[in-house]
Structure 1
Amino acid sequence: MAKHAGWMAGTAAAVLLAAGAITYAVTEDGGSSGSTPSVDSADAGFARDMAVHHQQAVEMSYIVRDRTDDKEVRFLAYDIAQTQANQRGMLLGWLDLWGLPKVSSQAPMTWMGRGDMPSAGDGSLMPGMATNTQMKKLESLSGKQAEIVFLQLMTAHHKGGIHMAEGCLEKCEVGVEKRLAQTMVNGQQSEIDLMTDMLKQRGAKPQP
């Protein structure tokens, strides 16, 4: 990860600024009852799980950025990494504000009533997450092949993220968190449409 240090440092200030701003917003907004979310609430569960989900998207974006010279793909990867790193900072900031742990003994997506859903394994903890094998494959490719695999993996990743964000829209109580979830749904669906077109331009399709 050392080769990504410069890029990661470039996002640090923005993440801290965003987290600080959102902390103030959550303090002002609060939950529907004005109380702090509990450790097993949907608000806390979504924040924990989506932070993990987002981290992998950031990692995938760093990888493809170094595996291709295609400006369109590099720009998309940079945008995804910036956006999801900022959002991850917000999610972790909320957990700090609420005095709640960033990890849970419960299975991922328990807050959605889906804790008994089997994961894909091999590092894929939630829907849409790539396996360790898929991540290693992406690291081994370059040029057009890397672009196609990245676009396919990120499309699946976004679909899983949208599913989780829609779960928050249904179950979360903190208004500002629900608004962020809606932003995720809108933004990631737009990127799915874009990536579908980008795959078509490269003679490929999203994974079934």
Structure 2
Amino acid sequence: MTRSRTNRTYWAAGTAVVLASLFAAGATFATADGSGSADAGGSAAVRAPSLYSPDAGFARDMAVHHQQAVEMSFIVRDRTQDEPVRSLAYDIANTQANQRGMLLGWLDLWGLPKVVADEPPMSWMDMGAAGSMESMGSMGSMDHSDGHDGHDGHATKPGALMPGMATKEELDRLGASSGRDAEVLYLQLMTDHHKGGVAMAEGCAKQCRTPAERALAQGMVEAQQSEMKLMADMLRQRGAAPRG
């Protein structure tokens, strides 16, 4: 690893901590209805999101989702010398590592766990808030029980992958590929990953009540939609296309 790459790694890690602290501080001013309220003493009354709220569920699920994007980006970085792909992979890894730090920082601030054993992926999400099922991508088997507070609504069953997540077999294929094959597979997997991430972020932008988290989710939607267009162009340049 060169000194330049090492410095970038330390910079990215430091930035994630700083940004997480800043966004977490902003989130302390969010009440359950998304606005500040004053108590009898005139101070802001802070109410943290509940364990199974969309705010907490999105933070937990998207932190896991982002971690895989970072992992795939580091894999392809070592499997190709193509600078456009390596640059894209670095940008995605850096951005999503920073955002993951924010999400985990909020959970710490709210006093909530980063993992809930009995919480199926996507159980916080109202499927209607994310548009059609096609926009969600493949989500595996669905549980259509009724409920409230995002916990007992439409959810994937325990053990199912979240939308857009690559399987272990696909990650193994990426790690075993090189050159153009690795570039194409990475761009295809990351396009699928972004489609799932956009659907999840759209859900939070509509359902989450913490203003800073809604703003972050909307930023994810816009950035990942732009990156999907770029990846479609990069695939065409390589004589390939997105999957599905």
TM exceeding 0.5: yes
Separation in 1, partners of 2:31, 2:54: 14
Separation in 2, partners of 1:19, 1:161: 20
- 1:142 alignment counterpart: 178
Higher relative contact order (CA 8 A, sep 6+): 1
Separation in 1, partners of 2:226, 2:30: 28
Higher normalized helix content (fraction of residues): 1
1:189 matched to 2:225: yes
Separation in 1, partners of 2:31, 2:85: 38
1:178 matched to 2:214: yes
The superposition leaves residues 78-111 of structure 1 with CA deviations (integer Å, 9 ceiling, x where unpaired) of 0000000000000000000000010122100000
Task: Say if 2:123 and 2:156, in contact at 8 Å, map to a contact too.
Answer: no
Task: Say if 2:122 and 2:156, in contact at 8 Å, map to a contact too.
Answer: no
The SS at the match of 1:103 is coil
- Aligned match for 1:108, one of 107, 121, 131: 121
- 2:108 alignment counterpart: 96
Separation in 1, partners of 2:199, 2:79: 29
The SS at the match of 1:56 is helix
Residue 82 of structure 1 aligns with an amino acid whose one-letter code is N
1:161-176 maps to which residues of 2 (within 5 A)?
A: 161-176=197-212
The structure with the larger Rg is: 2
Residue 195 of structure 1 aligns with an amino acid whose one-letter code is M
Q: Once the 2 structures are TM-superposed, how far is the Cα of residue 11 of structure 1 from its aligned partner?
A: 2.3
Paired residues, number: 202
RMSD of Structure 2 on Structure 1 (CA) = 2.0
Separation in 2, partners of 1:30, 1:125: 31
Task: Say if 1:42 and 1:171, in contact at 8 Å, map to a contact too.
Answer: yes
Separation in 1, partners of 2:98, 2:197: 15
Separation in 2, partners of 1:118, 1:14: 33
Which stretch of structure 1 is more off in the superposition, 167-176 or 91-100?
167-176
1:86 matched to 2:102: no
Task: Say if 1:30 and 1:175, in contact at 8 Å, map to a contact too.
Answer: no
Q: Once the 2 structures are TM-superposed, how far is the Cα of residue 157 of structure 1 from its aligned partner?
A: 0.1
Which stretch of structure 1 is more off in the superposition, 105-114 or 38-47?
105-114
Q: Once the 2 structures are TM-superposed, how far is the Cα of residue 18 of structure 1 from its aligned partner?
A: 1.0
Separation in 1, partners of 2:173, 2:10: 26
Separation in 1, partners of 2:181, 2:25: 44
Q: Once the 2 structures are TM-superposed, how far is the Cα of residue 26 of structure 1 from its aligned partner?
A: 1.1
- Aligned match for 2:188, one of 146, 152, 157: 152
1:1-208 maps to which residues of 2 (within 5 A)?
A: 6=6, 8-31=9-32, 32=34, 34=36, 35-104=47-116, 105-113=118-126, 116=143, 117-118=155-156, 125-208=161-244
The SS at the match of 2:193 is helix
